[in-house]
Structure 1
Amino acid sequence: MTVKDKKFDPGQLTEMAAALAAKPYVPPADNLPDELKKLNYDQYRDIRFSRENGPWYGKKLPFEIQFFHLGSLFLTSVPINEIVNGRIHPLKYSPAYFDYGKNRLNTDELSELGYAGFRLHNPLNTRKYYDELVSFLGASYFRALGKHQKYGLSARGLAIDTAVQTGEEFPIFREFWLVRPKRNDKSVTVYALLDSPSAAGIYTFVITPGENTVMDVDAKIFPRKEINKLGIAPLTSMYLFGENTKNKFDDHRPEVHDSDGLLVLNGNGEWLWRPLDNSKYLRISAFVDENPKGFGLLQRDREPAHYLDFEANYEQRPSAWVEPVGDWGKGWIELVEIPSQQEIHDNVVAYWVPREKAVPQKELHYRYRLYWFTKLPVKKVPGDITATYTGIGGVSGMLEDHKRKFVIDFDILNMQKEVEKGIATLEVSASEGEITGKHLMYNPVTKGLTAYIDFKPNGKTSELRASVVKKGKNISEIWSYQWLP
């Protein structure tokens, strides 16, 4: 699938996506040679891109492109094109781009193969080395890095019917167009054609590397049919266990996760923090809103001693923040947490669900800025929630197992006197069950504040909220927790 003319026109891509949505969905061709389909994990990893032979190598450009080979788990061929001086040039498959290692493949049969995806490199951390910056590989997945980060969570172009009994649909990026950068460019632009049984669309990514790598995303979506649940700007991550995990893992490491919480800035200007969990049951949480100002999956805990994994380096995983551009209307931010027993599986998804249903041929247009960061790139209230602990409620040692205790650390400094005088207080609520005790105190270890909450469940799902208040105003994030019986 290519544009009709070799002269590039973004409007023509929009027309292509609309025309594609007007036709029945046709899945990608299954014509991969068996020798590639049968590659095991190690054999596939033995195929490496030869940087020195790459199409942008040696041209003193701020970015280099490298391709992912097809095979093993990656069986869908994706055409990749570059735009040079306003004209389109297909980047055709070439065996010269790859070192096949110990594999003995018949490269004569691979001439029309195409690629599984691509990644872009940039001198992100030092001028002397082109670090991996962003990759697009598999379905509509992509991920990026800021300075001194290691890959963790991913984003997707679109989520369709996530956590719906009829099954989730995974759209794919069917073709890419990359604008070859000039020597002094600070950003690189990628266009992507999305396709699935329910929708087609065209996406524009303007990618700017830095301390926080930023993607300006423009998504034009054309539904083929009415969609039950549409997820905009989806983020996907892994949470196996942490401080608040009730089902214990037989693992020497204290914590294992790519993200530890969902942060929301709603349309009313409230900051909400939902610590992630890996319970025995599927969790689905909806934060109803109108014109949200931002949401993201964060890796807030940056202390290596809290992970003790010096290969995975979970403390170096990026956080991701979605900042809507323009009004997104009414809907909700949905958080899905899937039970998991292994860290190799992503089990957390967050996205925006518009209240208005997607209907056939009615274009949907969303713009947002996606940050990949270590330090949150937007101004916010103080009072970050840095940890949540859970255990048996009541007095320590009394085994009041009909209650649960929640201990919350707030990063609010210089508040000891206000707490002791009752000027700063703790507000707590539960939609079901009973709050039987609450206490706020100065923490001499963190120099912040720690809240202690006793909760008596009543056998129903309960939404708990807590915040530190001074003179009637929140001076902390709002702690939000879903209790499942």
Structure 2
Amino acid sequence: MNNSRRVLLKSGASLGLAWMFAARPLKAIAATGIPQNEFKAPVPFSFDLLEEEARRLAQYSYEPPVNPSPGVLAEIDYDQTQRIRYRTDRTVRVGNADHYPVQFFHLNKYASDPVRISVVEGGQAREVIYNHDLFEIPVGHPAEGLRAGAGFAGFRIMADDLKTDWFAAIGASYFRSSGPFNQYGLSARGIAINTAMSKPEEFPRFKHYWLEASPEPDGGINVYALLDGPSIAGAYCMKTKRKTEPDGSYRVVMEIEARLHMRADVDRIGIAPFSSMFWYGEDTHLEPRDWRPEIHDSDGLAVLTGNGERIWRPIINPPHVMTNTFSDRDPRGFGLLQRDRNFDHYLDDGIFYEKRPSVWVEPLDPWGEGAVHLIELPTDTETWDNIVACWVPKEKAKSGQRRVFRYRLSWLDDIPFPKTLGQTIGTWSGIGGPPGLNFNARPAGTRKFVIDFAGEIFEGLGRDSGVELVVNCSRGSISGIATYPVVGQRHRWRAMFDLKVAGLDPIDLRAYLRKGDAALTETWLYQVFPASV
């Protein structure tokens, strides 16, 4: 897992479930890689018991994690963390299945709140005890001063050859997958509390994980987690599978059930949140910032609304924090996607932005009224995640409530898309007016937008087929509307228009192609800041 361009967030720990299992019978658990004496005694485990612990926690005030040996961890900076290696011969084979090898992350300066990790087999859980022997630690390294039993920063699920990982959980409630092309990008997390509000955001954390080989015939690994934070406690079950696609890429599918118990009222609770990075793209690289043409982990938000409308909103790097909401009832899906898979559009042969995974969320139950929130923060670097997307229920979370959310989260190349609609494959803009005019002859305060759509829906359609562009703006005026098939490109259609604006307030644009009363494409949305026109 490459963390060189991501700041590690903090994780944590607490007492877990031992209090409620003391009188239950114990049973030995088999796990390869770690000697049996480096596990705690087995205790019964189930998802229902985990929820009982979350319910119990929610009845009491939040207790922040205790940082073990803070002086020692303060010395384990990025460089010192890179010197620590997990021993391959200590790899835990969950369920004795070779395709579920698990290794652990060492605590460090940036991930200093200890996480507990247990292995489950046959309804019994045994916690792994932190020990120096699990890691290759150089002589004289600060980590030698960390006591046994201190805990871990997180864990990762390895590929069969133990050379790479395809799933990792570290920091707060964050987790992510390397997706279809073995390249990490955006991150998911268990919950978002008061994101992009005037009050401080809260970062609940997964304090204890339980790992279990799935009993289902088609396999998978079940990741259970206990969430704890100032306003919330929760029990999570994440049934995780990695599938190989016919083209050799991978699809990681997680069926997640979150049983939440509220400690306090929360103004904004974000369900199925994930964070990504967008510095600039094809439409926003207005001046040289870096030699690479585009730099982003995701290039757009896709939404499949409850009534079946498909929306595509290209991500932007705004001049100030912006929150856009897409109101809906019982959404069918939403996600942050990396649609542009062309290496030549990025030219980065070190971290391969064209290989970053897309993430798609599909509710498994009706979620009722609410909105997909897209939060965009300004950035001048690729180091920080500055994009957040999540579902925010209309009903606010109240103290004492139990709320359950079930959804499927897929890490994939691209989402399934109907052949009856065209997809947005590119957005560009520039100076308005007819091309070829002298710059001083161009109309003032006008910006031209060009959108390319692609899909089999355009087969057999030409300039005289009655295809029209429907475009609206929240303010300003639209002119110069044109749409036509791109010369020499099969199934590719271009739409363009000019936007004339005055004033400084943001402008929302909405456009799609239609023929008669039938939409030919998904709905393209965009936000314009007049200062850049």
TM range (shorter): over 0.9
Q: Give matches, 1:48-447, under 5 Å.
A: 48-56=85-93, 59-101=96-138, 104-105=141-142, 107=144, 109-123=146-160, 131-180=164-213, 186-210=219-243, 211-245=250-284, 247-377=286-416, 379=418, 381-396=420-435, 397=437, 398-413=441-456, 415=458, 418-447=461-490
Q: Secondary structure at the match of 2:44?
A: coil
Contact 1:46 1:103 in 2 (8 A): no
Aligned to 1:28: 65
* 1-structure distance, mates of 2:96, 2:369: 47
Under a length normalisation based on structure 2, what TM-score does the superposition of the two structures give? Answer: 0.86
Q: Could you tell me how far 1:434 is from its partner in structure 2?
A: 1.2
Letter paired with 1:132: D
Contact 1:239 1:348 in 2 (8 A): yes
1:452 aligns with 2:466: no
Q: Could you tell me how far 1:147 is from its partner in structure 2?
A: 3.7
Q: Secondary structure at the match of 2:112?
A: coil
Contact 1:292 1:328 in 2 (8 A): yes
* 1-structure distance, mates of 2:133, 2:218: 28
Aligned to 1:465: 510
C-alpha root-mean-square deviation of aligned residues, in Å?
A: 2.0
Q: Could you tell me how far 1:446 is from its partner in structure 2?
A: 3.8
Structure 2 CA distance for partners of 1:250 and 1:26, relative to 1, 3 Å: same
Aligned to 2:522: 477
Letter paired with 2:188: A
Instruction: Out of 456-465 and 182-191, give the one that drifted further.
Output: 182-191
Q: Secondary structure at the match of 1:190?
A: strand
Deviation digits for residues 138-196 of structure 1 (CA, Å, limit 9, x no counterpart): 01100013342300011010011111011211111111111146797620001101111
Q: Could you tell me how far 1:408 is from its partner in structure 2?
A: 0.5
Q: Could you tell me how far 1:379 is from its partner in structure 2?
A: 4.4
Structure 2, unmatched stretches of 5+, are 1-14, 22-42, 244-249
Structure 2 CA distance for partners of 1:334 and 1:87, relative to 1, 3 Å: same
Structure 2 CA distance for partners of 1:445 and 1:249, relative to 1, 3 Å: farther
Q: Could you tell me how far 1:329 is from its partner in structure 2?
A: 0.3
Match of 1:2 among 4, 11, 16: 16
Letter paired with 2:529: L
* 1-structure distance, mates of 2:213, 2:95: 14
Q: Secondary structure at the match of 1:107?
A: helix
Contact 1:63 1:181 in 2 (8 A): no
Deviation digits for residues 244-271 of structure 1 (CA, Å, limit 9, x no counterpart): 1165342111001110000000011000
Aligned length: 481
Structure 2 CA distance for partners of 1:70 and 1:445, relative to 1, 3 Å: farther
* 1-structure distance, mates of 2:471, 2:122: 60
Structure 2 CA distance for partners of 1:38 and 1:415, relative to 1, 3 Å: same
Contact 1:82 1:180 in 2 (8 A): no
* 2-structure distance, mates of 1:2, 1:276: 40
Contact 1:246 1:279 in 2 (8 A): no
* 1-structure distance, mates of 2:313, 2:352: 23
Letter paired with 1:235: F
Q: Secondary structure at the match of 2:179?
A: coil
Structure 2 CA distance for partners of 1:468 and 1:330, relative to 1, 3 Å: same
* 1-structure distance, mates of 2:150, 2:489: 56
Q: Could you tell me how far 1:310 is from its partner in structure 2?
A: 0.2
Query: How high is the sequence identity, in percent, across the aligned residues?
Result: 38
Q: Secondary structure at the match of 1:400?
A: coil
Under a length normalisation based on structure 1, what TM-score does the superposition of the two structures give? Answer: 0.95
* 2-structure distance, mates of 1:103, 1:313: 36
